[in-house]
A = this chain, B = another copy of it.
């Protein structure tokens, strides 16, 4: 008798979600080859978190292997031959699923959240879009403090480290701006 069963749990790795989401999202609009895809991803999130080629190409392969996209080889317009990537039906479905049910970190981590937002229009049901925005709003409304004195959260005014004060100052400003935008957008989605 084995001590435990060896299931293959198809662990959903939180960290890859963002890159794969971006690939699916861009291809949902139009087929692209890898190099162009890379330029668009770089424009979207590259200034904050660049994606290496050696990360992108394996990711494309994974998605292909999973049946979410297909490749067709074309003679290179200007250099080496291109692999034009086209989203499959399953790929489109998977994109919509990931947008409708983002993981917790897609909601909490600004980098990921922006990627979700960048493609949220592909979810054609406004109620589903609203639901996602409301999750983010709920997160922003959770009381979150960065620093504690024992169990008591410290406010920005209370400590003299100007850098830690800055963290709170900036986080608050961001939160206020985004909360406002979320409320406005939610209101306009309900028309």
Jot down 30 A-B pairs with beta carbons below 8 A, ordered by A.
A43-B148, A44-B146, A47-B108, A47-B142, A48-B108, A48-B110, A49-B105, A49-B109, A109-B111, A110-B110, A110-B111, A114-B146, A117-B163, A117-B164, A118-B146, A118-B163, A118-B164, A118-B167, A120-B163, A121-B161, A121-B162, A121-B164, A129-B163, A162-B188, A166-B178, A166-B182, A169-B181, A170-B174, A170-B181, A174-B177
Residues of A within 8 A of B (CB): 43-44, 47-50, 105, 108-111, 114, 117-118, 120-121, 129, 142, 144-148, 161-164, 166-167, 169-171, 173-174, 177-178, 181-182, 185, 188
Contact indicator A163/B49 (Cβ below 8 Å): no
- When chains A and B are docked, how far (Å) is the Cα of A43 from the Cα of B169? 17
CB-contact partner of A166 in B44, B109, B142, B181, under 8 A: B181
Can you tell how many copies of this chain the complex includes?
2
Please tell me if the beta carbons of B109 and A48 are within 8 angstroms of each other in the complex: yes
Report chain B residues within 8 Å CB of A169.
177, 181
